Amino acid sequence: MSSKFTASLCLQLSFLLLLQTVFSAQLLPPGAFCSQLSLNFTADHDPYATSLNELMQYLSYHSASTGFSLGSKGANQYKTYGLALCYSYVSPTDCLNCVVEASKKIRRQCPYRKGANIWYDDCFLKYMNLDFFGLIDFSALVMCNPGNATDPISFNQHKTELLSQLANNVSTSLKMYRTGELELAGSAGKLYAEAQCTRDLFSVDCKQCLDHFIAKYACNGRPGGRIYGGSCYLRFETYDFFSASKLSQNLGV
């Protein structure tokens, strides 16, 4: 892993996720990570700004059909690389809306930066003036649901087991995601989870990214959580947050 990607950002936010439904297209206030590592450009007429505009249009246009897009625009020192990922249970319409919004917001949140990540409820968008494709970006935005799981120790064990299985199995999916469920002990109901990676990663790196997050950002004892990463994504809940798109998942995996 290159040292320029080791700067890891972790914003611990306690967030009220409980009121959300899988049908809501509502966007979270975005979490943005403006790269400190790459130089700024200077003005709206900088050729890098032109490359960035073209890249954002490209990503907006190409993400919805498969939930992922990747591209680069510009040349030489003005070249910019980017990707956009929608989470697997997000509909194409919500994906489009999210990436369009993210592509505007990322430039307002990180003006004149040559690199930035932005996370929304439904999607993730990243650009950089370096070719980062295939490299694991460990930056993360972590949101743990408030409250306590009924039996935190047992809950954590089940959660780790399910998430680890998903991290192992994700390599068998062309779209680099897996969803799964597990019966909790007693009458505590079920645990539902998803693991997903950006599709520029090799499977082995996808697993490494997920395993790192499982070990590091556990939301211990919390009844739900989301880890929005620069290369991978994890979510677990005690309700079925992906059922609405189960059919398309089965077709799409």
Ligand X SMILES: *[C@@H]1O[C@H](CO)[C@@H](O)[C@H](O)[C@H]1NC(C)=O
Rounded to whole angstroms, how far apart are CA atoms 96 and 44? 25
Token pair 């611990």: residue: 12
Residues 74-113: x where in contact with ligand X by CB under 6 A, - otherwise, as a string: --------------------------------------x-
Token couple for 176: 């680099």
Using rule CB under 6 A, residue 147 touches ligand X: yes
Using rule CB under 6 A, residue 39 touches ligand X: yes
**Cβ proximity to ligand X, 53 vs 171, nearer residue:** 171
How many residues of this chain bind ligand X (CB under 6 A)?
Answer: 12
Using rule CB under 6 A, residue 178 touches ligand X: yes
Token couple for 184: 């909790």
From the list 85-93, 124-132, 143-151, 206-214, the region that binds ligand X by CB under 6 A is: 143-151
Judging by beta carbons within 10 Å of its beta carbon (0-12, 13-18, 19+), is residue 129 exposed, middle or buried? buried
CB of 161 to ligand X, least distance (A): 9
Using rule CB under 6 A, residue 180 touches ligand X: yes
The DSSP symbol for 145 reads: P
- For residue 206, the surrounding DSSP H or E stretch is helix 203-216
CB of 39 to ligand X, least distance (A): 5
**Cβ proximity to ligand X, 98 vs 163, nearer residue:** 163
From the list 114-122, 127-135, 162-170, 241-249, the region that binds ligand X by CB under 6 A is: 162-170
Judging by beta carbons within 10 Å of its beta carbon (0-12, 13-18, 19+), is residue 148 exposed, middle or buried? exposed
The DSSP symbol for 27 reads: P
